[in-house]
Amino acid sequence: MEVRAKSDIQAVHQLPKLKSLLKKYRQINTMQSGLLQLSELASTVTDMASFYSELESVIKALLITDSFHIVLLNRSRQLSLTFSHNSQEERLLAHLDENHWQQTLSGLVFDESEPIHCSSAERMALARAEKIAFYGSPCVDWLGVPLKRGHQTIGVIALQSYDKKLYFDDRDCQLLEFIAEHLVTAIDRVRSRELLEKNIRQRTQKLTATNVKLQQEIAERQKAVKMHKALLAISELSSSGKDINSFYQTLHGEVNSFLSAQNLFIALLSEDGSELSFPYYQDEKNAHPKTRLLANGLTELAIKTGLPLLVLDENVHILSEQGVVNKQKFALTYSTNKLPKAWLGSPLIENGKIIGVLAIQHYQNEHAYQYCDLELIRFVSQHIASAIMRKKAQEDAQQSHEKLEQIVNQRTQELQATNLNLRMQIEERQKAEEQLYFEAHHDALTKLPNRAMLSERLSYALSHLKRHPNNRFAVLFIDLDRFKVINDTLGHHAGDEFLIEIAARLSDCVRDNDTLARLGGDEFVILLDSLQSQDDVEEVASRIISAIEKPFELEGHTLYSNASIGIALCGNQYNDSNEILRDADAAMYQAKSLGRGRYVFFDESMREQLIASMTLEQELRIAIKEKQFELHYQQISDLELTSTIGFEALLRWQHPTKGLLTPSEFLYMAEETGMILDIETWVIEEVCLQLKAWKTSDEFENAFIGVNLSGRHLTQANQLSHLIDLIKINTVEPERLILEFNESAFSQHTELALKGLRKLKAFGVKLALDDYGAGMSSLNFLHSYPFEFIKLDRSFIRSLNSNEENISLVKALHDLGGKFGYRLVAEGIESQDMLEKLQEVGCEFGQGYHISMPAKISQTNEVKEELPKARA
């Protein structure tokens, strides 16, 4: 224990020494790191400004402040500020001229070649003793050391502290001296590299200037060579066999080879000198001008002076015959946007007479042409004038020769033309007749036979069947699934491409002697001839379904479709083609109703269904026109108070022969044909009349009436606005209407339907979700849609007698109603037991045969005997 105590005492005595050694180690490590960083700066930086900027991080890493400045001897052997990291100190030091630097602390360090550490008080004392000049620096402590190259002092590096808590000590002085020892070497290295870079740049500039001058000389010589080649080519042009237009174009190309002549024109004077024509005119801004009278333009100025002109900077430069360029102010009246940046032109002179003008112009570059180009354009225009006159003489001779040949050949050509015209008319008539026949018997899109040709083929097949009873044929009526979706979604072009691909696939499924026709839209018909058995028909139908259900690649989309096929096997029972198509069409609709992607053979029961359906549609249209409908009202009661709050209007059709029909017997047809909208318009009008009649009744003046509507009102364009306008016209109390929609109204157009419901809600009517519990019964309808009433379907209510879970469900729906803002209405209450169960779980309202049977109501106020009293 005694030995261990002695050991601990020795360790305690050695601890300060170890801490001192650790501190020295860290100082040495910091100094080495700073030295390494300074060395890297000297090796990588190429200019002094970057060096001083990077030096800041070294100073900041080693010392307690990064505020420092460096003064160095300049070429006049005077101290000057080289760099200052502190902007405030830099502004103060900038006022010191070279002579005053000797009267600063930095001057004292330089003169004495020794470090100086000076506080603000000491600095003030030196200033009072007039050893230094006071320049207003607010620093509280100052430390400076000399910068030496060998034994010679070349400058000073000084630190300033502005924090009264931070003062420099001996360690800072040693560190700064350490930095100063290596800083001079680093400055010399960077200055040498900077000087080398400067010399390289100067040498490069000289070489570049020499190269540019050489390139200019080469360009001038090349231009001269090009000009001589062009003049030789121009001379050869006049003797070539090219027509005058090709001559001018080639001439333009030659001029453009040595001058910037993208815009070039040749103007020629008329014989009497009063008009200018432009046989060649190539310009990026102006169209080819017509022949015109002489005016006051640049072309006329060139004709008037008879000398080459250069229009530049709103001045006209004229080349005299002696080669002197005379300058005068541009005095012509020209709009600024039409005047080119540079215009160079020369008169075309032949035998001392001016025959026209050659001109080139530039709209972008005002330096496109130089004074030297005036002599060039005059020289070129002389050769061009001679070439034009030679070419014109050749053209005149050629025209005379052609005129003679034309007279000789005219009569022969007339006879040949007449004969040829007759033959062509006959051929064109034949082609037109063939084309008309093809267009009349084929589909324009798919090029398949159309309805007209199909009828001819069917008629022929029927007549052939009468002569050959054993011959059998069949008609396949094909309808495509999802064509309307493709057409509406991707556009008509994609729909057309889809039909063309369908036609190609169907063609691969039939034989050469069969007929594949397109009737229109997505309906195709195939006539299968010379059949051996019904199996042949089924094989073709199966092939078609397999071909159509393969994916389609259209405009980057992968699409799928199916085919529903109706098949009519033809025998002696048919008299014409329309009957066959009718039965195949009926079978096709049967196939669609069975689930699409299948084929169905026609039988007599389908004809009966088709006739019944057609009859129902016709009778329904008559019923709408003659208003054979009537409304029966079933009361909706408050199950707790057992009082009437309103009624549901139930549609009935008073059929002339079948009696009173319920919606289940005819409403599907109205929905399918779109007549549902006309019927519901009548219903809204009748209900509004009933509300008006009840307005004067104490019993029913506050009663609601519910109307079940089709989802078309929410999804068809403009139909919602029409519904709102209809209600506005017929009633001033839309809040007494309850519009009921079932889930099918939202199945395909959810967002559109939701938008429509909100618009109806804002209008003021009340909304109800009908038949809840019969379909998907999504909880989304309860909280996302603005329904005030949820009507539980009668099938769901009927199940309460045997299903206790559904009773709990009704209670849960009632509890949710308080949160989501709707109230429950039970439909189909047919017993007292059922009524009591609904009352127990909190269902507020209900209707059904147990409460009230639907009945007609007179539009007078005498309704007390027919209906119970409504609750206010």
559-581 confidence digits (pLDDT tens): 888 899 999 988 778 888 888 88
- pLDDT, residue 140, reads 86
d(CA 90, CA 319): 62
Q: Where are the alpha helices (DSSP H) in 45-119?
A: 48-62, 87-93, 105-112
Please list the alpha-helical segments (H only) found in 711-749. 712-715, 719-730
Distance, CA of 31 to CA of 178 (rounded, Å)? 8
- Alpha carbons 13 and 583: distance in angstroms, whole number: 119
Q: Which residue has the tokens 């033309």?
A: 417
Instruction: Output the 3-class SS for 130-157.
Output: CCCCCCCCCCCEEEEEEEEECCEEEEEE
Q: Which residues 6+ apart lie within 8 Å of 69 measured at CB?
A: 81, 83, 84, 85, 86, 89, 90, 93, 106, 157, 158, 160
If residue 767 lies in a helix (H) or strand (E), which one and from where to where?
Answer: strand 766-772
Spacing of C-alpha 601 from chain mean position:
50
Least confidently predicted of 329-343, 661-675, 738-752: 329-343
Q: Write the burial class of residue 525 (CB in 10 Å: 0-12 exposed, 13-18 middle, 19+ buried).
A: buried
DSSP string for 768-802: EEEEETSS---THHHHHS--SEEEEPHHHHHGGGT
In this predicted structure, which of 19-33, 202-216, 516-530, 729-743 has the lowest mean pLDDT?
Answer: 19-33
271-321 pLDDT, tens digit each: 888 899 998 999 888 888 999 888 888 888 888 888 999 888 778 888 888
Q: Residue 478: which of 361, 417, 561 has the closest Cα? A: 561
Q: What angle do CA 716, 718, 724 make, to 5 degrees?
A: 110
Q: Identify the three-state secondary structure at position 370.
A: coil
Q: Which of 76-90, 161-175, 240-254 has the highest mean pLDDT?
A: 161-175
User: To which residue do tokens 């001008």 refer?
Assistant: 289
Q: Which of 160-169, 224-233, 728-737 comes out lowest in average pLDDT?
A: 224-233
b or e along 195-213 (b: 16 or more beta carbons within 10 Å of the residue's beta carbon)?
A: eeeeeeeeeeeeeeeeeee
What would the pLDDT profile of 754-800 be if each residue is shown by its tens digit?
A: 899 999 999 999 999 988 877 666 666 677 788 999 999 888 888 88
Continuous segment of H or E residues that includes residue 241: none
Dihedral in degrees, nearest 10, Cα atoms 833, 839, 843, 848: 40
Secondary structure (DSSP) of 598-648: -EEE--HHHHHHHHHHHHHHHHHHHHHHHT-EEEEEEEEEETTTTEEEEEE
Cα distance between residue 799 and residue 818, in whole Å? 24
Are 810 and 824 in contact by the 8 Å Cβ rule? The answer is: yes
| pLDDT score recorded for residue 24 | 61
Q: What's the whole-number mean pLDDT along residues 522-530?
A: 90
Long-range contacts made by residues 226-234, C-beta under 8 angstroms, separation at least 24?
226/257, 226/258, 227/258, 227/376, 227/380, 229/257, 230/254, 230/255, 230/257, 230/258, 230/380, 231/379, 231/380, 231/383, 234/380, 234/383, 234/384, 234/387
Number of other CB atoms surrounding residue 650 within 10 Å:
18
Cα gap 4→384, rounded to integer Å:
120
For residue 143, give the nearest of 164, 123, 125 by alpha carbon. 123
Express as a percent the part of the chain with pLDDT over 70.
87
Q: Determine the residue type at 518.
A: R
Look at the chain and count its residues: 872
Across 142-151, 228-237, 447-456, 500-509, least confident range: 228-237
Among 224-228, 307-311, 513-517, name the one with the lowest average pLDDT.
224-228
Residue 708 pLDDT > 90, yes or no? Answer: yes
In angstroms, rounded to a whole number, what is the distance separating the alpha carbons of residues 399 and 243? 11
Q: For tokens 């012509």, what's the residue?
A: 332
Amino acid at 813: L
Q: Is pLDDT at 691 greater than 80 in this prediction?
A: yes
Q: Say which DSSP state 564 is in.
A: E
Give the whole-angstrom CA distance, residue 311 versus residue 323.
Answer: 17
Cα 775 to the chain's mean position, in Å?
A: 41
Q: What is the largest CA-CA distance in the chain?
A: 149
Provide, for the chain, the percentages of residues in helix, strand and coil under a 3-state DSSP scheme, each rounded to the nearest 5.
50, 20, 30
Q: Which of 94-108, 345-359, 677-691, 816-830 has the lowest mean pLDDT?
A: 94-108
Going by pLDDT thresholds of 50, 70 and 90, the confidence category of residue 92 is low
Q: Rounded to whole angstroms, how far apart are CA atoms 479 and 542?
A: 14
